[in-house]
A and B are shown apart, each in its own frame.
Chain A
Amino acid sequence: GAVVSQHPSWVICKSGTSVKIECRSLDFQATTMFWYRQFPKQSLMLMATSNEGSKATYEQGVEKDKFLINHASLTLSTLTVTSAHPEDSSFYICSAGDSRNQPQHFGDGTRLSIL
């Protein structure tokens, strides 16, 4: 079945650094990828919709200059958390889908810890 790979699974870094998270669709072309953020004991919150070859669409309240999204190919989207601070610590999950690919498939998530 369809598989989405997310890397890294866990990252710890110092405040002020930038962190890049990759989301790859392994056996299908993902015209659309989604990035979610999940706080402890809460549901997933959509951050942005990433469309191949165009700018991402951010949800209200999500800083586009803080969370840079690039979707340069049909199999790869990246989320870069720029100048990360402790409040950016969270669990980030990507999903990928296309017009035929139901359901959307999720990566295993990235736990980001900013010290």
Chain B
Amino acid sequence: AQSVTQLGSHVSVSEGALVLLRCNYSSSVPPYLFWYVQYPNQGLQLLLKYTTGATLVKGINGFEAEFKKSETSFHLTKPSAHMSDAAEYFCAVNPSGNTPLVFGKGTRLSVIA
């Protein structure tokens, strides 16, 4: 069975500071990994994905994540936080398009001016 653990339900950073949102997964097969962002009362927007190939994945809005198989991690980072980054972030895993995503519990990012 697959599972996702997001460490920290709430992360607060100052504007311009580094953003680091942690995600660890367990999977019996090579996983596809995703990060989604959700703004209030909206659906999920894909930030980035890892399927195969390069382990450092760049996404939208300046976010990137690195797949580390040895650590079973897929942490999300952004060098400099912006006020508009304040939202809920979900890490997810699934083996194929025909299976449902397994989500972490989410991390709420607050950005302080």
Q: Which residues of A contact B (CB under 8 A)?
A: 6, 31-32, 34, 41-44, 46, 49, 91, 93, 95, 97-109, 111
CA distance in complex: A6, B43 (Å): 10
Nearest chain A CB to B40's CB is how many angstroms away? Answer: 10
Contact B103 A102 (CB under 8 A): no
The CA of A63 and the CA of B98, in the complex, are separated in Å by: 22
Partner of A93, one of B34, B43, B98, B105: B43
Q: Are A103 and B103 in contact (CB under 8 A)?
A: no
Tell me how many residue pairs across A and B have CB atoms closer than 8 Å.
61
**Residues of A contacting B51 in the complex (Cβ-Cβ under 8 angstroms):** 102
- On whether the beta carbons of A106 and B44 are closer than 8 Å, the reply is yes
Contacts of A49 in B (CB 8 A): 100
13 A-B residue pairs with CB within 8 Å: A41-B108, A43-B90, A43-B103, A44-B44, A44-B90, A44-B103, A99-B96, A103-B34, A103-B46, A103-B97, A106-B36, A108-B43, A111-B41
Q: List chain B residues, Cβ under 8 A from A106.
A: 36, 43-45
Given A98-B97, A106-B36, 14 extra CB contacts under 8 A: A6-B43, A43-B90, A44-B90, A91-B41, A99-B96, A100-B97, A102-B32, A103-B32, A103-B46, A104-B94, A105-B46, A107-B43, A109-B41, A111-B41
Give a binary string over B85-113; 1 marks a CB under 8 Å from any A CB, 0 the rest. Answer: 00000100010111011011110100000
Contacts A43-B105, A109-B43, A111-B41; is A103 near B49 (CB within 8 Å)? yes
Using known A-B contacts A102-B32, A102-B51, A103-B32, determine if residue A42 contacts B105 with beta carbons closer than 8 Å: yes
B104 CB to nearest chain A CB (Å): 7
Top 8 A-B pairs, shortest CB-CB distance: A97-B97, A108-B43, A109-B43, A106-B44, A43-B105, A32-B98, A34-B100, A106-B43
